[in-house]
Amino acid sequence: MPVCSAGRWIRNDRNERQVPRLSGGRGAARGFLAFFQWLANGHAVGTSWWRHPLAANGHRKVLVTDLSAFLAAGFFLVASHAIGSASAVRGVLIARLTRPGFIALHSGISIVALAAFLWTYGRLPTGPWLFDPIDAGPTVAVWVMPFVLFLVVGRLTTRPPVSEAEATGIYRISRYPGSVGVLLWAYLHLMNMGDLKRTLLFAFLLAIPLAAILRNEVSRRNLARAIEATGDDQGADDDAPSQTRIIPFHAILSGRQKLVWSEIGWWRVALSLAFYAVLLALHPLVIGVDPIG
């Protein structure tokens, strides 16, 4: 039995909606087989899990259109972050539009993408059950979320270093603390879902920070190659490219970095815990799920 009510809520939600496990058994492979079976059939015959008003009439094209619209909106949302913040694209747009114009354009596209994503998500029915969340999932999420908020707070309150050799504070713990924090947040929720609708939701939300990390890594390696090609070995003794790691505490545990607590301070820990308390209080009111109830 899970310690947290989120696990019980997931099971109750599945039972109340009678979400079909068309393929039977556990495992993501069988779950996705159920998904394709659902697409082929339009809806699960003999079950009442689908609340869509057209499901009873078997309007498969309309149902699949809802899913297609959500997938398109999801890819648009990810692309608006990944492409819009790419160095090459950003440089060209700033040169043509000026920085305020670029910020206005990027912000407008991001807002439209988010609105489309949320609107199509609201229209999408729950869908088939893809996998069974592990019983310990809610408990793991409750205990890891404070660290997730610590990474995000550290990122928002610490100036990014010009180079890895100048990494301080939270950047000694992780090369990309903000992106890693958001990625962990999305994964903690994804592992506690199971139905098609919410699995796709958090898969897209996980793809955004993952794309940011990959983009930054590509830029970082291209810069290293450019420096090597020009023969500019200034600062080579610092071995800057290897001084930080993406995985939290990896660089510290491997001896490439050291934890300097004075650069972080207890106030960031206190602020993270305060945000967590607010999150726990609002979660059942806004989301409808009490993580610790």
Report the candidate in 111, 28, 103, 27 with the shortest Cα–Cα distance to residue 73. Answer: 111
- Decide: pTM greater than 0.75: yes
- In sequence order, the 6+-apart residues with CB closer than 8 A to the CB of 110 are 80, 81, 84
Give the per-residue pLDDT at 3: 39
Report the candidate in 123, 132, 131, 122 with the shortest Cα–Cα distance to residue 55. Answer: 123
User: Could you give the CA distance from residue 52 to residue 98 in angstroms, rounded to a whole number?
Assistant: 47
The answer to whether 75 and 53 have CB atoms below 8 angstroms apart is no
What stretches in the chain show pLDDT beneath 70?
Answer: 1-64, 231-241
What Å distances lie between residue 60 and 14, 18, 73, 84, 265, CA to CA?
22, 19, 20, 35, 56
Give the per-residue pLDDT at 52: 44
Report the candidate in 164, 173, 151 with the shortest Cα–Cα distance to residue 248. Answer: 173
Give the per-residue pLDDT at 197: 93
User: Could you give the CA distance from residue 76 to residue 81 in angstroms, rounded to a whole number?
Assistant: 9
The answer to whether 245 and 175 have CB atoms below 8 angstroms apart is yes
Give the per-residue pLDDT at 226: 80
Domain boundaries, the chain: 133-286
User: Could you give the CA distance from residue 207 to residue 219 in angstroms, rounded to a whole number?
Assistant: 18
Instruction: Determine the Cα angle at 233 with ends 228 and 234, to 5°.
Output: 140
Residues in the chain, overall count: 293
Tell me, what DSSP letter sits at residue 241? G
